[in-house]
Chain A
Amino acid sequence: MERRENRMRRFLLFSRGLIDEALQQIGELPDKKYGGVGIATMTKNCHNDYKMKFSVDEEFPDLSLHNNHMAKVLTKEIYGKLRGKSTPSGFTVDDVIQTGVDNPGHPFIMTVGCVAGDEESYEVFKDLLDPIISDRHGGYKPTDKHKTDLNFENLKGGDDLDPNYVLSSRVRTGRSIKGFTLPPHNSRGERRGIEKLSIEALASLDGEFKGKYYPLNGMTEAEQDLLIKDHFLFDKPVSPLLTCAGMARDWPDGRGIWHNNNKTFLVWVNEEDHLRVISMQLGGNMKEVFKRFCTGLQKIEEIFKKHNHGFMWNEHLGYILTCPSNLGTGLRGGVHVKLPKLSTHAKFEEILTRLRLQKRGTGGVDTASVGGVFDISNADRLGSSEVAQVQLVVDGVKLMVEMEKKLEKGESIDGMIPAQK
């Protein structure tokens, strides 16, 4: 009985591919231009209809102890207006806010407290998400337009950061694939579809981008050890901010890591976003890192577009990602830089703020710095282009290294404090 079931399982997984071909041949797969979830008459979310029989007062979450962007914005009025709605794929306002309800937040760190389940969430729930976006992204208005600039040639300098101080450089962003729902909401079938498309797209890269995909579910012990050693492997999310939003469901199904042979270009598949794209190398040549980043992204995007699954993007919010904090460029460009003296200077925080930069420990967000080495990156995501944000990092880090050198000599840096950018 067991063997028969296993055979049936294998047959079904295999026949999936055959049926795809067969249906294509008999003309059942329609013209590609009708792809995507935007097709009308899609959904009836029975669970949400069932909820509507309770009043707003009965369903409204208790946010009295909460300190996140969602809790600051959500009123009974907004909740009442949005609770009857759902996106075409069935995502509701309760789904959007669940992570914020479950994680009241920290008195010092302000988390976003909500996620998008698909591209349409940002439309359907704009009454809630627009004010949150405005709070998080420095007053960004619903009518503002976001500029995308991935032309690496527009970056000035960036190839001369002192490698005695700047230990490594890195640029990361995320991309979502049109036609699929996002990690908080997607089904196993969708996630596998995203993985399949990604593998195809990445396998067609060549030159410095030639590389290999390692599915989390199928890698060997040896491969796993090497990925850990290279600091490439990502773990199942443990942060309740992510797990309460449903992003760790069905782990590790459909997840994997791709990197090029040179180990300078890395793509995470189906972690917190559909794709996380990372370009990095040791030393301070941010110009090269950014060039590889832009080139690689554009190559990948072309391939996805050919399959009629381009990246989610619009001119108001830029690149659409799961967390509203990553909208716009979704870009975090940064360096690991040694600033033992500057980091203890009284004006360090102020300098960072004026330069529009943020600091983290070298373990990433929420870690402490070790040995005076900081992760310094851009604070902005939405409202300025990729080039502009990396430019801020390049200029800002250059200035801070010079400040560090001055402090080493015992000189004052008061004359170097920059104006607010």
Chain B
Amino acid sequence: MKATSVWLLHGANIQPLFYKGHLCLTKPSAARSKTAFSHSPRPMWQYIILRLYLCSAEYPDLRKHNNCMASHLTPAIYAKLCDKATPNGYTLDLAIQTGVDNPGHPFIKTVGMVAGDEESYEVFGDLLDPVIKERHNGYDPRTMKHPTDLDASKIHSANFDPRYVLSSRVRTGRSIRGLSLPPACTRAERREVERVVVDALAGLKDDLQGKYYSLTQMTDQEQQQLIDDHFLFDKPVSPLLTCAGMARDWPDARGIWHNNEKTFLVWVNEEDHTRVISMEKGGNMKRVFERFCKGLKEVEHLIQEKGWEFMWNERLGYILTCPSNLGTGLRAGVHVKLPLLSKDPRLNKILDNLRLQKRGTGGVDTAAVGGIFDISNLDRLGLSEVHLVQTVVDGVNYLIECEKRLEKGQDIKVPPPLKQFK
């Protein structure tokens, strides 16, 4: 009841702060309001009641919700954070809007909130920290540190049998420090991200040399080629993304860059500032990861030359829009043919213990076709890139071993669970 609350506030001499129609309480202002009534400052209990009243009127109805945000957003936390905003003006209501609008699925637990900028993870820490802890298997951002390691030489045994592994791929995201993230960025900021990134990518050489295709300016021919290569990304239709405001002003300042050999690809301004993908056909994950690390380091170097840097801190690693992608933001995976193993009822347990997840070859939420799976790491935060890639490598090697044994009619064993970081 905003009208009512405004009367009350003016009586209390509190200057109300609004953003997107949401009420934010600030310190009592010295100036008198222009309304007819005047009051001396209230006793503290009345401020507390007022605050609870105003916030309870705004508290979302989460009774039918099943996402991480709904599990952790108590009325107390809401009351504490509802009047806060990051320096750019991003508020709690904006951060949780996607979770309010998308109650979730009884089987899949989505995160239900996003960050609008780097500071969101600080300002809304009271909500984000428990959400991160739940999503990342108990990683506590308040006490733990995230290791970053992009030294590809440490990876071993990563050249798979191409009769089983059809393709290998590593992806991550990077955000440009100083610019808001896709849920909150203005058109100018988004264009700035595009400018900074495209500038840097233009400086890549040798096997990484490539070209940028802006979504607004590509020719029909270029578009068709990108579709045939399976590189083109579409305007998001998932309500998880659209309700968070990530599709605004589409396709302004969005585009795709890839190297001439089509093994290193960068998406600009899709779900994150950048999504960096290294891939190739066959099983040479070592080479894929080497290119991945080399490319990332060179891009980072190139933007640093111009005075920019990636968002990173030692609590949360690389900062991305969705809390589920914090840390490494890395998903390293293969498309692997496991027709016999796919029918084995122990597959899910094996994958669980190896800290791997399976998807269909169309990506998340698709089914496997012809016994071909997309196998990738489950974890993102709390373990380094090298560690996660090695986990995938070891896991895939184990799965191929199992498949070979099943081919020979031998039995397979469920491996013991891998140790977690805690």
- Whole-angstrom CA separation of A195 from B187 in the bound complex: 35
Q: Is B37 within 8 A of A50, CB to CB? A: no
Q: Which residue of B lies closest to A35 (CB)?
A: B3
Total A-B pairs, Cβ < 8 A = 182
- B35 touches which of A34, A46, A58 (Cβ 8 Å): A34
Q: Is B249 within 8 A of A188, CB to CB? A: no
- Whole-angstrom CA separation of A23 from B1 in the bound complex: 14
A158 at the A/B interface (Cβ < 8 Å)?
A: no
Contacting A at CB under 8 A, from B1-55, are 1-8, 10-11, 15-23, 31, 33-37, 49, 52-54
Q: Is B74 within 8 A of A8, CB to CB? A: yes
Q: Which residue of A lies closest to B26 (CB)?
A: A44
Residues of A within 8 A of B37 (CB): 30
Stretch at the interface among A10-18, A258-266, A353-361: A10-18
Q: Is A50 within 8 A of B61, CB to CB? A: no
Stretch at the interface among B84-92, B134-142, B264-272, B372-380: B84-92
Stretch at the interface among A243-251, A320-328, A390-398: A243-251
Q: Is B18 within 8 A of A45, CB to CB? A: yes
A196 to chain B, nearest CB (A): 8
- Whole-angstrom CA separation of A296 from B100 in the bound complex: 35
Q: Is A46 within 8 A of B19, CB to CB? A: yes
Q: Which residue of A lies closest to B93 (CB)?
A: A187
Contacting A at CB under 8 A, from B144-172, are none
Q: Is A90 within 8 A of B20, CB to CB? A: yes
- B85 touches which of A9, A15, A46, A118 (Cβ 8 Å): A46
Q: Is A50 within 8 A of B88, CB to CB? A: yes
B31 to chain A, nearest CB (A): 7
- A28 touches which of B11, B16, B59, B248 (Cβ 8 Å): B11
Known: A185-B20, A189-B2, A243-B242. A39 touches B89 (CB 8 A): no
- Whole-angstrom CA separation of A88 from B15 in the bound complex: 13
Q: Is B33 within 8 A of A180, CB to CB? A: no
- Of B36, B192, B249, most buried by chain A (CB within 10 Å of CB) is B249
- Whole-angstrom CA separation of A183 from B152 in the bound complex: 52
Known: A28-B11, A39-B6. A54 touches B20 (CB 8 A): no
A-B contact pairs, 23 of them (CB 8 A): A5-B74, A13-B56, A15-B56, A31-B36, A35-B3, A37-B3, A39-B33, A41-B15, A41-B31, A42-B6, A46-B87, A47-B19, A48-B89, A58-B188, A62-B249, A90-B21, A91-B20, A94-B186, A187-B93, A189-B58, A249-B100, A249-B243, A253-B60
Residues of B at the A interface (CB closer than 8 Å) are 1-8, 10-11, 15-23, 31, 33-37, 49, 52-54, 56-61, 74-76, 85, 87-90, 93, 97, 100-101, 184, 186-189, 191-192, 216, 242-243, 247-250, 252
Extra contacts besides A90-B20, A187-B23 (5): CB < 8 Å: A8-B75, A28-B11, A37-B3, A58-B188, A187-B22
User: Lowest 3 A-B CB distances belong to which pairs?
Assistant: A47-B89, A46-B89, A189-B57
